[in-house]
Structures are given as structure tokens and as C-alpha cells.
Structure 1
Amino acid sequence: MQYEQTKKLSNREFKRLVGVQRRTFDEMVRIMRDTVKTKKTRGCPNKLDLEDQILICLQYWREYRTYFHIAQDWQVSESTVCRTVQRKRKCVG
């Protein structure tokens, strides 16, 4: 489920789906946006929005699904999911 679709969910449903409260998720996005602004980017732009990247990471960390299954749900390559999770892991800690 992409971020745009989660906007339709109630706060309770959002937490059930993602595992964190909506305001916690918004804070994560804000922190990641600040981090991304300070970095110089090269190469192709990301196929996924920052919100979607964070949703992918939360889905991986919460459900421990394989990169392959997550990639199928999001219609991206397995390596894209792997890179996304690895990059966010570095930022988180």
C-alpha cells in the first residue's frame, strides 16, 4: 500500500498497518528530508517517494518479509528494496 493510499486510513488503522503512529511517521519523514537535503545526489532520481521508502523499511522491519515479496508488492526490483532498506538503516542507527 503506497503512502497516498494510507492517507485515507484512520489513525488507528494506520498504526495497525505500519506499526507506528502517524505523527511518528511524519517525524521520521521530516528527519529524513533534512538528511536528504544535506547530501549531494548523483545518478537517477529515486523511483519511490521518501514516504514510500520509509513505508518499505517499516514493512521489512515489522514483518520480516523477503526483499523479493516486498519488491513484488511495490513493483520495483529486489535490489531497489535492498538499497532502500540499507540506506535507511544507516540513517536510523
Structure 2
Amino acid sequence: MKHDRLERTLKMNRTRFKRRTGIYPETFTLMEAVLVEREAAKKKSGRPAALSPAEQLLLTLEFWREYRTFAHLGDDWGVHETTVQRSGTGRSGPDCQWAVSSPRQKGSQGSGERLPDHRH
């Protein structure tokens, strides 16, 4: 189910994708690449993540866009609410928040768009 959600979103046209996530598909691809790179650099120990980096990113963007509860997002994504919280949606979740600032810090051109404001 969760994979269908990502695939459906990635198949949306540019305008619909932006309306759904708050960013353009090109920016999503840049952010995903940063997350994949960071994930590859991590030391692997313990249980593997329930969601792929792309799924974590989409879930985080949905949280920032809609401000839904962790429980509701967890139900929609088929994961526990603590998994949602660890995916970078919370203020202390570093992974996806790191991806938001990293493309600009590395001097990437990107799309020049403003990212969604996730502060409360």
C-alpha cells in the first residue's frame, strides 16, 4: 500500500505534484538523492527502516503540508506512529530536515523554489 502511494505521487504531473507535496518533482529528486547518499554512508546495524528514503521524504512533506497527526499518517502509510516520528517529521527528526537544507548548502541549482515552512 505504501509503495502505491509513492508511485502514484511520482506519476502526477508537475502542477499536481507541487500542489500535493509543496515542492516540484525536480526538488523531490534532489532531496531524495541527498537522503540516499546519507543512508548509504550510515553504519548499518539493527533493524532496517520500515520506509525507503523516498517514502520517508514523501511522508515528511505530507506532514509539513497537511499538519496531520503521526497516528493518522501512520494509518495511511501502514506503519506505527513512532515510525512516522522517526522519519524526520518531528522537530528532532534529522534525516529529511537535513535533506531540505543540504541541496542549497552544496551549491546545487535546484528549482529555486521556496520549501514548505515546517515550523510551528
Aligned partner of 1:39 among 39, 42, 48: 42
TM-score (norm 1): 0.89
Deviates more, 1:75-84 or 1:38-47: 38-47
Structure 1: runs of 5+ lacking an equivalent: none
Tell me the equivalent position of 1:18.
21
- Percent identity among equivalent residues? 34
Aligned partner of 1:91 among 81, 98, 113: 98
Deviates more, 1:72-81 or 1:34-43: 34-43
TM-score (norm 2): 0.70
Give the count of matched residue pairs: 93
More relative contact order in 1 or in 2 (CA 8 Å, sep 6+)?
Answer: 2
Q: Which structure has the larger Rg?
A: 2
Offset of 1:43 from its aligned partner? 1.1
Tell me the equivalent position of 2:75.
72
Offset of 1:7 from its aligned partner? 2.6
SS of residue matched to 1:42: coil
Extract structure 1 runs of 4+ deviating beyond 6 A.
Answer: none
Cα distance in 1 between the residues matched to 2:96 and 2:17? 22
Structure 2: runs of 5+ lacking an equivalent: 102-120
Higher helix share: 1
